[in-house]
Amino acid sequence: MYALLVNSGLSTEAVALLPRIETLVVVLFFGLFAMSFDFISGYTGYLSFGHAAFYGTGAYVVALAANGKLPLLGPETPFMLLLVFAGVAAAVLALAIGSVSFRLSGVYFAMITLGFSQVLYVFVRNWDFVSSAPRDGVAVTGTLEGFRIGVPGVDGWNVAIGQLTGDSIEGLFGFINLSPTEVSFYAVGAVVLVCYLAMQRLVHSPFGRTLIAIRENEERARAIGYNTYAYKLGAFVASGFFAGIAGALFVGFRRSVTPENGFYFLVAGDALLVSIIGGFGTLAGPLYGELFNAGVREFLSKEGGGGGLLPYLRANVGDATLTTELYNGLTVAEAIETFLNGHAALYVGLLFVLFVLYVPNGLLGTVRDRMGGTLATAVPRRVRRWLGE
Amino acid sequence: MASLAPAGPALPLQFADALIEFLSPSTLADVIVRGIAKASLYVMIAAGLTLVFGLMGVLNFAHGSLTMLGAYLGGLVLVAAVAQSTGGVGRLLAFGVAVVVAFGALAALGGGIEVGLVRPIYDRPPLYQILLTFGVTLVLDELARIVVLFYGLQPTTVWQDVLGTKPTFLADSIGVTGVSASGLELFQILFGVATVVGVHLFLTRTRYGLFVRAGSEDSEMLSALGVDVNRVFTVVFALGTGIAGAAGVLLAWDPAWGASVPLAAETLLPAFVVVIVGGLGTFRGTVVAALIVGLVDSSMTWWFQNFVDFTGLPEMVVFLVLVITLIVKPQGLYGVSEVGGH
């Protein structure tokens, strides 16, 4: 698709508009994190503002294991196993945090989870065991090989992921050629898909229905006889597990993690942001939200490597326009630099406010409302009606 | 100390030494003065947050960003004013002007945010107010970053110029009967006490304060009595953000904080800790919690400097205070089970 558009007549516009494949990998694993956040917050209504703790735990488990710093998990441990360990570690942490936090509700719950995650953040930031400069985070130095996704132990069924260390595939089925990043995209995507389906299964089970009942009216759910505490805790642990996997995938692809992009509370803030834009309380929504968020950020990114608005404007807007004075000596070129250069957060933030005010159901939620059901049920119904049945 | 055996088995002994040193009157007094100075900063940052939450039940995530704007705005006034006059008293006056300017500008901004953004969503679940103010934070921070970059106010994090506008006597340390405190710390304590007294008087002695206290109990009843509740909300929101702005100006003079864009997150988190530990929405709780957090912070700083080899100790313990308080007393020290009157 991408190749088709880039090579078409609209190539310049396509390069500028479409996110690059590197960004799409980020969309996948961060989308999974946002989904896990939405799984607890969107479905039970408990705002887990410290969710970054689980993401960071997963990320650090993989980074430390790959550097040979964890007992029992050497650098040789298969990545698939590390994924599970990262998830389990995060789930155990979620059990510990959740068992205390779910005695509270509302704002207090948001604050105690925030408190726990900040304790961990400050701790990791200053703990010289993780690396010689803990503030700068951990880079994977223990192994030069890429992390392999596939069936552990069967070499032929494994592909390495990572920007520089990944495998490339040539001539699969005779005609499929994939660059290392594209391989990572599909491999990470497969893991994310499995996790998504698992969460989807949970949401549509009686367990998931109970969570929604808790969100809508917790007292009534308790009155019917549900042990709401156990249900919330169970959901929190499951959510922590998937957040841990998301963090593990993040390190698997990027090969480094810092306290700022792993444990800091604004990481959970980003998950919140994309959940709202995508649709709070819809499992797939956060993925679209993150796609949107990453797309906008890349579109307005500083260097615009391979795409983005800035190079497009620089290349295609005439010099006469660029040097025109707008206001008080501010030229168009300067205005572009000032307001567009890497300040995507401004526009994403504005958009976020507008969404909260006017589109509280988010992209996917609104589409569902319009269609009158989930897409999987509504689209065939529409098509059938359209075909005159 | 030198005669002791090196690390390892001697550690308990060193701990005992450190404990004795810590408990000596001069160290304790020192730590307490520092703690109260920190508490003054915390209470300044948190007072506005607790006012807004107490009346409206809105947890204002943008509070840190408003503090940050106050720091920049106050800093601009200070730098401009010091170019005019240099004497110590003149600089204190300039500080007063900066506080008034920051208070006024941010109160106006806060009032605007309340009327334009928060008011339309009062009838939604409280979650949405958190979300909305979180979005406002993103926008304000990024706007501040754009302006700062565009005018080249600072290439790095701390805007050093503002620190230079302090009167020299604030930088000196003043010794009273063996306890030494820097002039700046005494100034902060003075400022914090003045704010606490001011807010307390506002709440207990003015007609508006009466509305606020009544409104946080039952805002429907208040409006039934003929009070324009919407206007009370706007005024309190403006007042809360104004105090945040004034706090920002105070922080701009402190070398440990200074004016910078990350100040938004750096002040937001301690403000949350103080407000939650005290019990959301109670002003008395906020003052007590600020004292606790300030004293914990200053004593942990002492332990870090003298015994514990862990840079993040004070910060981590502050968050542990939050977590432990919520575990032991889920409503905070003075909190009531139901907050937010509407």
Confidence of residue B3 (pLDDT cuts 50, 70, 90): very low
Lowest mean pLDDT among B6-10, B102-106, B268-272: B6-10
Confidence of residue A351 (pLDDT cuts 50, 70, 90): confident
Query: Of B139, B319, B322, which is closest to A350 when you measure between CB atoms?
Result: B139
**In the predicted model, what is the mean pLDDT of residues B193-198?**
92
Chain A CB contacts of B128 under 8 Å are: 356, 360
State whether A108 and B276 contact (CB < 8 Å). Answer: yes
Tell me how close the Cα of B297 comes to any Cα of chain A, in angstroms.
14
Tell me how close the Cα of B2 comes to any Cα of chain A, in angstroms.
26
Per-residue pLDDT tens over the stretch A81-119: 889 999 999 999 999 999 989 888 888 888 889 999 999
State whether A353 and B136 contact (CB < 8 Å). Answer: yes
B188 by Cβ neighbours in 10 Å (0-12 / 13-18 / 19+) ranks as buried
Interface membership of A106 toward B (CB under 8 Å): yes
Chosen from A109, A119, A260, A300 to mutate, greatest number of chain B CBs within 10 A: A119
State whether A276 and B131 contact (CB < 8 Å). Answer: yes
Per-residue pLDDT tens over the stretch A282-339: 888 888 888 888 887 777 765 545 455 666 666 666 666 666 666 665 666 666 666 6
Per-residue pLDDT tens over the stretch A269-284: 889 888 988 888 888 8
Query: Of B124, B146, B327, which is closest to A343 when you measure between CB atoms?
Result: B146
- Helix%, strand%, coil% for chain A, nearest 5: 65, 5, 25
Looking at the predicted structure, is the pLDDT value of residue B69 above 80? yes
Per-residue pLDDT, B103: 94
Interface membership of A67 toward B (CB under 8 Å): no
Contact A360, B128 (CB under 8 A): yes
In angstroms, the Cα distances linking A83 to A71, A241, A273, B176 are: 16, 10, 26, 60
State whether A112 and B326 contact (CB < 8 Å). Answer: yes
CB pairs under 8 A between A and B: 111
Confidence of residue A252 (pLDDT cuts 50, 70, 90): confident
Looking at the predicted structure, is the pLDDT value of residue B65 above 60? yes
In angstroms, the Cα distances linking A213 to A45, A210, A375 are: 10, 5, 22
Tell me how close the Cα of B335 comes to any Cα of chain A, in angstroms.
11
Contact A244, A91 (CB under 8 A): yes
Chain A residue whose CA is closest to B316: A119
Interface membership of A157 toward B (CB under 8 Å): no
Tell me how close the Cα of B309 comes to any Cα of chain A, in angstroms.
10
Looking at the predicted structure, is the pLDDT value of residue B162 above 80? no
Tell me how close the Cα of B273 comes to any Cα of chain A, in angstroms.
8
The mean pLDDT of chain B is 82
Instruction: Record the pTM.
Output: 0.84
Interface membership of A105 toward B (CB under 8 Å): no
DSSP string, A67-109: TT-SSS--TTS-HHHHHHHHHHHHHHHHHHHHHHHTTS-HHHH
Chosen from A99, A101, A107 to mutate, greatest number of chain B CBs within 10 A: A107
Interface membership of A114 toward B (CB under 8 Å): yes
The set of residues, in sequence order, having a beta carbon less than 8 Å from that of A45 and lying 6+ positions away, is: A214, A215, B125, B127
Interface membership of A273 toward B (CB under 8 Å): yes
AA letter at B80: A
Per-residue pLDDT, B142: 87
Per-residue pLDDT tens over the stretch A140-196: 877 767 777 776 666 666 677 766 666 666 656 666 667 777 778 888 888 899 999
Helix/strand/coil (H/E/C) assignment for every residue in chain B: CCCCCCCCCCHHHHHHHHHHHHHCHHHHHHHHHHHHHHHHHHHHHHHHHHHHHHHHCCCCCCHHHHHHHHHHHHHHHHHHHHHHCCCHHHHHHHHHHHHHHHHHHHHHHHHHHHHHHHHHHCCCCHHHHHHHHHHHHHHHHHHHHHHHHHCCCCCCCCCHHHHCCCCHHHHCEEEECCEEEEHHHHHHHHHHHHHHHHHHHHHHHCHHHHHHHHHHHCHHHHHHCCCCHHHHHHHHHHHHHHHHHHHHHHHHCCCCCCCCCCHHHHHHHHHHHHHHHHCCCCHHHHHHHHHHHHHHHHHHHHHHHHCCCCCCHHHHHHHHHHHHHHHHCCCCCCCCCCCCCC
Chain B CB contacts of A123 under 8 Å are: 312, 316
State whether B132 and A357 contact (CB < 8 Å). Answer: yes
Long-range contacts from A4-10, C-beta under 8 angstroms, 24+ separation: none
**In the predicted model, what is the mean pLDDT of residues A27-35?**
91
State whether B130 and A47 contact (CB < 8 Å). Answer: yes
Per-residue pLDDT, A177: 67
Chosen from A111, A121, A128, A270 to mutate, greatest number of chain B CBs within 10 A: A111
Per-residue pLDDT, B4: 40
**In the predicted model, what is the mean pLDDT of residues B10-29?**
74
Per-residue pLDDT, A322: 61
**In the predicted model, what is the mean pLDDT of residues B92-106?**
90
Which residues of chain A form beta strands (DSSP E)?
A: 138-139, 147-150, 158-161, 169-172, 176-178, 256-257, 325-327, 330-331
Tell me how close the Cα of A41 comes to any Cα of chain B, in angstroms.
10
Instruction: Please choose, from the candidates A101, A128, A83, A120, the residue with its C-alpha nearest in 3D space to the C-alpha of residue A44.
Output: A101
State whether B127 and A345 contact (CB < 8 Å). Answer: no
What is the rounded CA–CA span in Å between residue B341 and residue B219? 5
Per-residue pLDDT, B231: 87
State whether B326 and A104 contact (CB < 8 Å). Answer: yes
Looking at the predicted structure, is the pLDDT value of residue B181 above 80? no
Per-residue pLDDT, B280: 78
Tell me how close the Cα of A100 comes to any Cα of chain B, in angstroms.
7
B284 by Cβ neighbours in 10 Å (0-12 / 13-18 / 19+) ranks as middle
Interface membership of A382 toward B (CB under 8 Å): no
Lowest mean pLDDT among A184-188, B167-171, B256-260: B167-171
Per-residue pLDDT, A34: 93
AA letter at A327: Y
Interface membership of A326 toward B (CB under 8 Å): no
Complex ipTM above 0.90? no
Interface membership of A24 toward B (CB under 8 Å): no
Per-residue pLDDT, B294: 93
Tell me how close the Cα of B127 comes to any Cα of chain A, in angstroms.
8
Chain A CB contacts of B56 under 8 Å are: none
Contact B191, B178 (CB under 8 A): no
Interface membership of A338 toward B (CB under 8 Å): yes
The number of beta carbons lying within 10 Å of the beta carbon of residue B7 is 8
Confidence of residue A243 (pLDDT cuts 50, 70, 90): very high
Percent of chain B with pLDDT over 90: 22
What is the rounded CA–CA span in Å between residue B67 and residue B252? 10
State whether A343 and B273 contact (CB < 8 Å). Answer: no
Looking at the predicted structure, is the pLDDT value of residue A8 above 60? no
Contact B180, B207 (CB under 8 A): no
Confidence of residue B39 (pLDDT cuts 50, 70, 90): very high
Query: Of B128, B280, B323, which is closest to A112 when you measure between CB atoms?
Result: B323
Tell me how close the Cα of B194 comes to any Cα of chain A, in angstroms.
29
Query: Of A112, A122, A276, which is closest to B312 when you measure between CB atoms?
Result: A122
**In the predicted model, what is the mean pLDDT of residues B76-94?**
78
CB neighbour burial string for B190-228, b if at least 16 within 10 angstroms, e if fewer: ebbeebbeebeebbeeeebbebbbbbbeebeebeeeebe
Of residues A149 and A244, the one with the higher pLDDT is: A244
State whether B331 and A122 contact (CB < 8 Å). Answer: no
What is the rounded CA–CA span in Å between residue B107 and residue B235? 8
Q: Which of A228-237, A251-260, B273-282 has the highest mean pLDDT?
A: A228-237
Chain A CB contacts of B331 under 8 Å are: 108
Confidence of residue B53 (pLDDT cuts 50, 70, 90): confident
Confidence of residue A10 (pLDDT cuts 50, 70, 90): low
Tell me how close the Cα of B91 comes to any Cα of chain A, in angstroms.
32
What is the rounded CA–CA span in Å between residue B2 and residue B14? 11
